Chain A
Amino acid sequence: MPESAVKLAARLRAKEISAREVMEDLIPRLEARNRDLNAYVTLCPDQARKQAEEIDNRRAKGEELSPWAGLPIGVKDVICTQGIRTTCSSRMLETFVPPYDATVVRKLKEHGFLIVGKTNMDEFAMGSSTENSAFFTTRNPADLERVPGGSSGGSAAAAAAGIPALTLGSDTGGSIRQPAAFCGCVGLKPTYGRVSRYGLIAFASSLDQIGPFAQTVEDTAMLLGVLAGQDPMDATSIPGPVPDYLAGLHGDIRGTRIGIPGEYFAEGLDPEVRAEIEKGIKTLEGLGCEVVEVNLPHTEYGIAAYYFTCTAEASSNLARYDGVVFGHRANESGDIVEMAAKTRAEGFGAEVKRRIMLGTYVLSSGFYDAYYLKAQRVRTLIKRDFEKAFGKCDLIVTPTTPTTAFKAGEKTSDPLEMYLSDVYTTTINLAGVAGLSVPCGKDSKGLPVGMQIISPVLGEENLLQVAHQFQLAHAC
């Protein structure tokens, strides 16, 4: 049975258990399990215990608290936490302690969530296996020899292992959904602009989005409700009210049209994954959904358009790491040029350097039109593909990944091979729509398979509703 934070919150509200007791149960379990998983870069149990006591005291005094007050949560180490070091799993920020909270962290605190630590990731969110962390590799709780996926591998592994069952990740090309699929938990990449990016250390600003990991869709819906909403600090956040995602979960989904794009079931898809997804689609049909065929014809250009876009933006976003104001600074530099060059040579790992170089090239005068602008035109075509497809269906269902989790070290020597593990997820970021990965059976090795459900812009309510009823109906 998956762990439910929503149920735990109900017990907290009923005073059947105190926040302090939740912590005393969690922390030893977390520390023990984390020795195998290496899911966390930084743990802050003392701070979490102290905050748990505060919540208990306030509850005892009869103060009105958020319904979720006292729930523990892990936060990906790409999201700024005031007073807790935020490293992006990079030598560059190994000692960086932000003087401010990300908007989502501020919201978590306002709701009384207790941050237990910062989770490991691919350096600067660049990677698909968490093997690009400058510190250590995180392991998949389903099989310790395998990667948890990435870049939010620490958050996915923690959520799947219940240490705790709620975590935050970020998703630029699949970095929430792919590790959720690999580890066997739920992961949501919301519509671009649904959740504030203020305080999310930028990788590719036009694609990045913060989202929740959980063991249940219900918890995912609860956490999205906390995170979502327009933020005056983020000009790209979307205005308008946030629906009550939890209340909507039980609505009637009969007649929902599920689009199946042939392009996502083509060559390269592992037959066992395909078989599990097909079973998943049957379950949806059993729930009264109607399956229709749709086309997303520009899918094959998605990976190329994605890498041109994200590397270009990364080369710009990562220019600030020069050792002047914050972060690592190289010793013994002769002049400012040497200082920046040495600082960056020492502070960044190989994949980050590779992407900065690619992106610098993409934006160079003489290449800008051929690479960056062309990628933006492809992006527009992909966006239109989705708009057209959503004219025929309400949601789209695909596999989240072409294979289940691979072994550590298996793909590290071939970056292109690694990039292809995001083949089904990057287009969703390019289009700016929402995508969720929900557990959908296991392959013959017992490894989790993830089914991706995609909604139009701001279609999270319907998306979560169908995913929730699917999760309850589908025997894993």
Chain B
Amino acid sequence: MPEFEPVIGLEVHTELNTASKVFCDDPTVFGAEPNTQVSPISLGLPGVLPVLNRAAFEKALKTAIALGCEIPERTTFDRKHYYYPDLPKNYQISQQYEPLGTKGAVDIHLKDGSTKTIRINNIHLEEDAGKLIHPDTPAARGLSWVDLNRAGMPLLEIVTEPDIDTLEELEVFMQTLRSILRYLDVSDCKMQEGSLRFELNLSMRPVGAKELGTKTEVKNVGSIKAVLRAARYEIKRQSELLEAGERVIQETRLWDDDRGETRSMRSKEVAKDYRYFPDPDLPAVRISADWMGRIRAELPELEDAKRRRFVAEYGIPEYDAGVLATDRALADYFETCCRMHASPKAFSNWIMVELLRELQNREMEIEDCPLTAPRLAELVRMVEQGTISNNIAKDVLKEVMETNESPARIVESKGLSQVSDEAALLAVVHEVIAANPGPAQDVREGKEKALGFLMGQVMRKTQGKANPGVCKALLERELGSG
């Protein structure tokens, strides 16, 4: 029985972060009341015409250039036809015949230190569809409501070649691409808001075989985590079929995130003839060498370059620099902190350990984090100045996340300032020694462990506000062990 290995390709849809839609000037704010960000054009009313949003096109072009694509001298738009109530014209303006970028590549760095190139087949710009809402109230049961706020949002589709061979590669590729898109400032890539979506193409073949097996296409996968789960599920499902001597059917499958499984879409929905043809309303876009040059000059520093600079400029370890540079917003956050207070290593520790954990627990993006860079700088400054202890600072950080108050205000209002006043602490130290004669004796006899116990008691009595350094010195002096 041969062993099977997966072959994976991705279609990545990312919503571009422009102020207006791709073919009209409707605003693009997320989460507005249904059907409030619409106009005759995005509603597809009779007689309207699309006009290309130059900002959206430039973001798409920037991405294509950053991913090393071949850029044609002209690119065109085509109509892709299918009937669905969330698609007002019943065709989507997309790019089929002359996309704006082909033959790109993304390099990914794997755990074993190796680098692999994932080829990009093409990148093209298109418009998003609206959404159907299925109301759950008894009166509206069986009805579908249409919200067209999203209709006409600029969508960039990035199609890879089937170059991904392992789940690790799949995960690293998605993270790397997300990082690039955020670095380029072309998309927020907020998966919760659907601004980064994936379609997974996966097939299995006997280990070492050259020929590709029959693939399935998995739609409706909304996050990196979900793609990995869906891929794992499909690998298992297809392997079991093949091992049982059965065939994989070429089909489109839907990912059900709640059940953790893919299931076949009805064949009617799969039978597709999109009847692509060039959109007569949109002239070809000519991409001059000048234009290309201007956009190339605007490309920001990407992840690899930034990682190297962080090590050189801030003297932080390679590992720290790697973590901070994975995401442009995170890297910017770190640099803002460093500009306000020159303690790079302290910031990288706080960001990597406390902040990232908080963000992950709360499924929050750094841009939305109540602990802004100035607030973290303030927190670290308070620790370094001895105003609060490290442990108190961790509590304050959590409090900031909960209440969106500034660290200084929290420290002040809760009376968390560290007590460093010897006179104040000496009374507590005497109290603790008197209440714990045994451990006190142990300390006098040089048993280090007992000193820790007594320190703990002092901390308890001061609600953690005692300056640990001052406290230790006092205990040692009083017990004559220092």
Please tell me if A324 contacts chain B, counting CB pairs below 8 Å.
yes
Of residues B84, B89, B273, B280, which shows the largest number of chain A Cβ atoms within 10 Å of its Cβ? B280
Contact A201 B47 (CB under 8 A): yes
Given A96-B46, A325-B44, A340-B83, A232 contacting B91 (CB threshold 8 A): no
Chain B residues whose CB sits within 8 angstroms of the CB of A206 once the complex forms: 280
* C-alpha spacing A86/B49, complex, angstroms: 17
Chain A residue with the shortest CB-CB distance to B89: A320
Please tell me if B85 contacts chain A, counting CB pairs below 8 Å.
yes
CB distance from A316 to the nearest CB of B (A): 5
Contact A98 B275 (CB under 8 A): no
Of residues B46, B79, B90, B277, which shows the largest number of chain A Cβ atoms within 10 Å of its Cβ? B46
CB distance from B56 to the nearest CB of A (A): 14
Please tell me if B110 contacts chain A, counting CB pairs below 8 Å.
no
A177-215 CB mask vs B (1 if < 8 Å, else 0) is 000000000000000000001111110111000000000
* C-alpha spacing A198/B90, complex, angstroms: 19
A390-404 CB mask vs B (1 if < 8 Å, else 0) is 000000000000000
CB distance from B288 to the nearest CB of A (A): 17
Please tell me if A346 contacts chain B, counting CB pairs below 8 Å.
no
Q: Secondary structure at chain B's binding surface: helix, strand, loop or mixed?
A: loop
Given A235-B49, A235-B52, A337-B83, A99 contacting B273 (CB threshold 8 A): no
Chain B residues whose CB sits within 8 angstroms of the CB of A4 once the complex forms: none
* C-alpha spacing A201/B49, complex, angstroms: 10
Chain B residues whose CB sits within 8 angstroms of the CB of A331 once the complex forms: none
A303-342 CB mask vs B (1 if < 8 Å, else 0) is 0000000001101100110101111000000001100100
Please tell me if A88 contacts chain B, counting CB pairs below 8 Å.
yes
* 8 Å CB interface, A234-250 against B: 234-236
Please tell me if B300 contacts chain A, counting CB pairs below 8 Å.
no
Chain A residues whose CB sits within 8 angstroms of the CB of B84 once the complex forms: 336
Chain A residue with the shortest CB-CB distance to B50: A235
Chain B residues whose CB sits within 8 angstroms of the CB of A368 once the complex forms: 275-277
* C-alpha spacing A134/B274, complex, angstroms: 30
Chain A residue with the shortest CB-CB distance to B23: A235
Contact-residue size bin, chain A (C-beta under 8 Å from the other chain): 35 or more
Chain B residues whose CB sits within 8 angstroms of the CB of A327 once the complex forms: 46
Contact B90 A102 (CB under 8 A): no
Contact B40 A100 (CB under 8 A): yes
Contact B281 A205 (CB under 8 A): yes
CB distance from A422 to the nearest CB of B (A): 19
* C-alpha spacing A312/B275, complex, angstroms: 10
Contact B79 A316 (CB under 8 A): yes
Given A235-B52, A365-B275, A326 contacting B45 (CB threshold 8 A): yes
B31-48 CB mask vs A (1 if < 8 Å, else 0) is 000000000100111111
Contact B43 A325 (CB under 8 A): yes
* C-alpha spacing A299/B76, complex, angstroms: 29
* C-alpha spacing A367/B40, complex, angstroms: 33
Contact A325 B83 (CB under 8 A): no
Chain B residue with the shortest CB-CB distance to A315: B275
B310-341 CB mask vs A (1 if < 8 Å, else 0) is 00000000000000000000000000000000
B277-314 CB mask vs A (1 if < 8 Å, else 0) is 10011110000000000000000000000000000000
Please tell me if B144 contacts chain A, counting CB pairs below 8 Å.
yes
Contact B44 A363 (CB under 8 A): no
Of residues A79, A88, A312, A319, which shows the largest number of chain B Cβ atoms within 10 Å of its Cβ? A319
Given A319-B90, A337-B83, A197 contacting B277 (CB threshold 8 A): no
Please tell me if A233 contacts chain B, counting CB pairs below 8 Å.
yes
* 8 Å CB interface, A89-114 against B: 93, 96, 98-100, 102
Please tell me if A360 contacts chain B, counting CB pairs below 8 Å.
yes
Chain B residues whose CB sits within 8 angstroms of the CB of A319 once the complex forms: 81, 83, 89-91
* C-alpha spacing A337/B91, complex, angstroms: 15
Please tell me if A40 contacts chain B, counting CB pairs below 8 Å.
no
Please tell me if A264 contacts chain B, counting CB pairs below 8 Å.
no
* C-alpha spacing A86/B46, complex, angstroms: 10
Chain B residues whose CB sits within 8 angstroms of the CB of A79 once the complex forms: 47
Given A319-B90, A363-B275, A372-B277, A88 contacting B48 (CB threshold 8 A): no
* C-alpha spacing A172/B40, complex, angstroms: 23
Given A236-B281, A337-B83, A365-B273, A202 contacting B47 (CB threshold 8 A): yes
Please tell me if B51 contacts chain A, counting CB pairs below 8 Å.
yes
CB distance from B472 to the nearest CB of A (A): 74
* C-alpha spacing A88/B88, complex, angstroms: 19
Contact A88 B46 (CB under 8 A): yes
Chain A residues whose CB sits within 8 angstroms of the CB of B44 once the complex forms: 320, 325
Given A324-B85, A324-B88, A199 contacting B47 (CB threshold 8 A): yes
Chain A residue with the shortest CB-CB distance to B52: A235
* C-alpha spacing A364/B277, complex, angstroms: 10
Please tell me if A80 contacts chain B, counting CB pairs below 8 Å.
yes
Q: Which residue of the partner chain, among B43, B85, B283, contacts A336 with CB atoms under 8 Å? A: B85
* C-alpha spacing A336/B52, complex, angstroms: 30
Please tell me if B146 contacts chain A, counting CB pairs below 8 Å.
yes
Chain B residues whose CB sits within 8 angstroms of the CB of A200 once the complex forms: 47
Given A232-B51, A372-B277, A99 contacting B85 (CB threshold 8 A): no
* C-alpha spacing A182/B84, complex, angstroms: 43
Contact A364 B273 (CB under 8 A): yes
Contact B49 A99 (CB under 8 A): no
Chain B residues whose CB sits within 8 angstroms of the CB of A312 once the complex forms: 277
Chain A residues whose CB sits within 8 angstroms of the CB of B91 once the complex forms: 316, 319
CB distance from A94 to the nearest CB of B (A): 13
Contact B275 A364 (CB under 8 A): yes
CB distance from B279 to the nearest CB of A (A): 8
B414-451 CB mask vs A (1 if < 8 Å, else 0) is 00000000000000000000000000000000000000
Contact B50 A324 (CB under 8 A): no
Of residues A88, A100, A324, which shows the largest number of chain B Cβ atoms within 10 Å of its Cβ? A324
CB distance from A60 to the nearest CB of B (A): 36
Given A93-B46, A233-B51, A316 contacting B277 (CB threshold 8 A): yes
Chain B residue with the shortest CB-CB distance to A199: B47
Chain B residue with the shortest CB-CB distance to A100: B40
Chain B residues whose CB sits within 8 angstroms of the CB of A236 once the complex forms: 49, 280-281, 283
Other A-B contacts than A86-B47, A363-B277, 20 sampled, CB-CB below 8 A, are: A98-B40, A98-B47, A99-B40, A100-B40, A102-B47, A198-B48, A198-B49, A204-B280, A234-B49, A234-B51, A235-B51, A236-B283, A316-B91, A325-B43, A325-B44, A325-B88, A337-B83, A360-B275, A363-B81, A365-B273
- 29 A-B residue contacts at CB 8 Å? A98-B47, A102-B47, A197-B49, A198-B48, A199-B47, A199-B48, A201-B46, A202-B46, A205-B281, A232-B51, A234-B51, A235-B49, A235-B50, A236-B49, A312-B277, A316-B79, A320-B90, A324-B88, A325-B45, A326-B43, A326-B45, A326-B46, A327-B46, A336-B85, A337-B83, A363-B276, A365-B273, A368-B276, A372-B277
Q: Could you tell me which A residues sit within 8 Å of B by CB distance? A: 79-80, 86, 88, 93, 96, 98-100, 102, 197-202, 204-206, 232-236, 312-313, 315-316, 319-320, 322, 324-327, 336-337, 340, 360, 363-365, 368, 372
Q: Could you tell me which B residues sit within 8 Å of A by CB distance? A: 40, 43-52, 79, 81, 83-85, 88-91, 144, 146, 148, 273, 275-277, 280-283
- What are the 5 A-B residue pairs with the smallest beta carbon separation, nearest first? A319-B90, A206-B280, A363-B275, A205-B280, A201-B46
